[in-house]
Amino acid sequence: MTLEIEIKLSASPETVRQVMTLNELAQLANGSVLHQRLISVYYDTPTGTLRSRGVALRMRRQQGTWVQTLKYKGEYRDGIAYREECDTPSDGYHLDFSSLEDDALRDYLLSEHVYRYLKPRFVTDFERTTRQLRTAGGAEIELAVDLGEVRTGLSQWPLSEIELELKSGSPDELHVLSRFLQSRLLLVPDTMSKAERGYALLEQEKDRSS
């Protein structure tokens, strides 16, 4: 289990693509640029049981393997998102909560009125370009540019965003980097997660059918 600490910024696809071309970021680079396609299937019950408890559950295919990720205990402080995160290797089909250290949450997920009703609800499919950075303040930050979409069976929502995830160092360094990027490009802070976009699509579909 790890603590995810990040800031998200959104913009048009054209603007987002320019981020990796900034010379100042190249000077902070700590390693090469990585390109990959990420496909994630998000699970919940038809009534949104996990969402109501602030839990996001996904199965993601990356670099030829599947990883199950559970995010919970999320909060925003000073514009930074903090979430507990538990990753588990997976076959892409079977949910496994055995490595979850939170006993109460694990028991809840495995309870009869939850586990048997967990089904795929929506998918994210995007190209991610990442670069590891080391800031002047000594922090290690992963910069990720995501371009793609969130989709349900009937609807799509374009994804065009940047994630700044703190790997080590002070969270204040996220603000420093975020402010720099916003000073160079037309980027805006965004607190809406990919999971929240998926749930918004489901709600829109429900409204149209009612």
Residue 21, judged by CB atoms within 10 A of its CB (0-12, 13-18, 19+), counts as exposed
The pLDDT of residue 9:
98
Average pLDDT across each block of 10 residues of the chain; the chain has 210 residues. List them in order.
96 95 92 94 97 97 93 94 96 92 95 96 97 96 98 93 98 97 96 96 85
**What CATH number is given to the structural domain containing 172?**
2.40.320.10
Q: Which of 34, 43, 41, 39 is nearest to 61 (CA)?
A: 39
Contact 203, 196 (CB under 8 A): no
User: How many domains does one find in the chain?
Assistant: 1
The pLDDT of residue 206:
82
Contact 50, 43 (CB under 8 A): yes
Which H helix or E strand runs over 180? helix 172-184
Contact 32, 199 (CB under 8 A): no
CB atoms within 10 A of CB 122: 26
The pLDDT of residue 63:
84
CA triple 205-207-210, angle to 5 deg: 110
Q: Specify the pTM.
A: 0.95
The pLDDT of residue 33:
94
Contact 9, 177 (CB under 8 A): no
Q: What is the span of the domain harbouring residue 182?
A: 2-209
